[in-house]
Copies of this chain bind each other. A is one copy, B any other.
Amino acid sequence: MNGAQALIRTLVDAGVDVCFANPGTSEMHFVAALDDVPDMRAVLTLFEGVATGAADGYARMAGRPAATLLHLGPGMANGLANLHNARRGRTPLVNVVGDHARSHKRLDAPLESDIDAVAGTVSGWVRRSLAPADVAADAAAAVAAATSSPGAIATLILPADVSWEDGAEVAEPAPARPAPRVAPSVVQDVADVLTSGEPVVLFLGGDAMTADGQLAAARVAAGTGARLMSETFPPRAARGAGMPDLTRLPYPPEMAIAALAGTKHLVLAGAEAPVHFFGYPDVPGHPVPEDCAVHVLSAPGEDSVAALRALAERAAPDAEPVLLETERPELPSGVLTPRSMAAVIGALLPERAIVVDEALTSGVGLMELTSGAPRHDWLALTGGAIGDGLPMALGAALACPDRPVIGIQADGSAMYTISALWSYAREQLDITTIVCDNGSYAILQHELERVGAASDGKRAGQLLDLGDPDLDFVALATGMGVPATRATTAEELADQLRRSLAEPGPHLIDAVLRR
């Protein structure tokens, strides 16, 4: 058995049976070995950023890692931005990065680069397999590192000859570190804070955003009067009817500051203390009031669900959580705006939908107008590196083939990884992509004002404008095998969304928003 065969079998045995691949020459034995290990599903992407973003979305929904197959340093580089997002979301993920044969490494061939340095910036675990006899154990260790709480990126660098040489054997799965339990004394301390009578915000993130975590938190809130809030961009959030009404900390600094104003105690469950995305002139770096004490119920990677349940038992043993009823917005009519787009989505969002949200500025109103839709899951852009939305939807759809996936995608960001659409078509996945087509980097127009950059000049404006020429997303999707339509009114969007949800396979709707 060669190294590649042992590697793939070991990954499958350890529960990693999907691989998003963008191979090159140094990965050809891995590719060949796929025919020997039919339990590994390999999904071709046309760009590594699609592979890594898909692995991110897959793991968020499947709860276990996918692998990527990347071609040397440049392949890793192309996948790096979405690995940044995965790192920020603490997504478990296993990269297999092919490298030159060991004997070739010292020759400084054209594709030689410092893979280890690049990998180290996003990975919690990096190892280079140095012999066929090691590669399977290395793969098992990679999966264990990726799946140990709270989840990390593990990068295994695989020299081509370690892949092609014989002498390898399959390795047993290695044990992963489970989420530690929070000590009862910590729970008691937080319970004391919650019953102090002072204004408390219970701030959720990570695994506290599961349905179980939120329901326990809602009991706490009902019994103590604490306000519930979540991090701005949780990796995965259970939402909809039957869940508590959970405010997200707003993205704009001034709104985040207002949302936390008056809070005396911020209790963190699975989340870090919030900071603003960017620094701005004359604005503090985070929204937590100066006289607010920050308490950690559970750090990321600790068992937040158990901690919240224990907290509810102590602080609010008899409380009934307040949960959202099913309440959909009316179907709007007329011109499409971000808000009417959100209303259409809220009115039609199917039960068990997976929403992949990279709407950015066009997402105004989206949270509010979908909060009473039937139960669904929501995946957000965790690290701010745009271009994760289309790939994440690919991964989510592969993880949950029986659930509808709806990608709400800003136009500028869509162009980063647009070839994800081709993989939707090849795999015939039930993904509806709604492009929020406002013809600009609207977020940057806001940011230009927010930083106080005193320019309304033409040359600056050209860098924030996606017109001249307009992008035709219908043509782009069609060119990659995804049926597409254009909606310019709320009625058209509703019709097209209904049709897309009723038909199998991928669809794209170019939602032209009033500019």
A residues apposed to B, CB below 8 Å: 21, 23-26, 28-29, 31-35, 38, 42, 44, 46-47, 49, 73-75, 77-78, 80-81, 84, 88, 100-101, 103-104, 107-111, 113-114, 117-118, 120-122, 160-161, 164, 233, 272, 275-281, 285-286, 382-385, 387, 412, 415-416, 418-419, 422, 425-426, 443-444, 447-448, 450-455, 457-460, 462-464, 466, 468-476, 478-481
Contact = CB atoms under 8 A, between A and B. Distances in A.
A419 B466 CA distance: 12
Contact of A460 (B31, B75, B80): B31
Contact of A73 (B121, B161, B272): B121
Nearest to A106: B285
A312 to B, nearest CB: 30
B469 A107 contact: no
A390 to B, nearest CB: 13
A272 B108 CA distance: 10
14 contacts: A28-B447, A29-B451, A29-B453, A32-B457, A42-B462, A42-B463, A78-B80, A108-B272, A108-B275, A109-B277, A109-B278, A111-B384, A418-B419, A474-B479
Contacts of A35: 455, 457-460
B479 A28 contact: no
A18 to B, nearest CB: 13
Instruction: Give the copy number.
Output: 2
Contacts of A472: 478-481
9 closest A-B pairs by beta carbon, nearest first, are: A469-B481, A35-B457, A104-B279, A475-B479, A101-B279, A74-B385, A32-B455, A32-B453, A77-B80
B31 A164 contact: no
A332 B117 CA distance: 50
Given A111-B385, A475-B476, A459 B285 contact: no
Q: Which of A23, A120, A452 has the largest count of B CB atoms less than 10 A from its CB?
A: A23
A278 B476 CA distance: 35
Contacts of A164: 281, 451-453
A454 B286 CA distance: 57
Contact of A109 (B74, B276, B415): B276
A458 B34 CA distance: 9
A120 B479 CA distance: 38
A441 B281 CA distance: 49
Nearest to A77: B80
A221 to B, nearest CB: 26
Nearest to A465: B44
A336 to B, nearest CB: 20
A365 B231 CA distance: 58
A278 B104 contact: yes
B459 A38 contact: yes
Nearest to A110: B384
Given A31-B444, A110-B383, 8 more contacts: A42-B459, A46-B466, A78-B80, A80-B118, A107-B286, A114-B120, A118-B118, A418-B419
B25 A451 contact: yes
A448 B164 CA distance: 12
Given A422-B471, A459-B34, A47 B416 contact: yes
Contact of A468 (B47, B121, B419, B426): B426
Given A34-B460, A460-B32, A478-B472, A415 B419 contact: yes
Q: Which of A29, A38, A419, A460 has the largest count of B CB atoms less than 10 A from its CB?
A: A460
A73 B84 contact: yes
B444 A285 contact: no
A415 B122 CA distance: 25
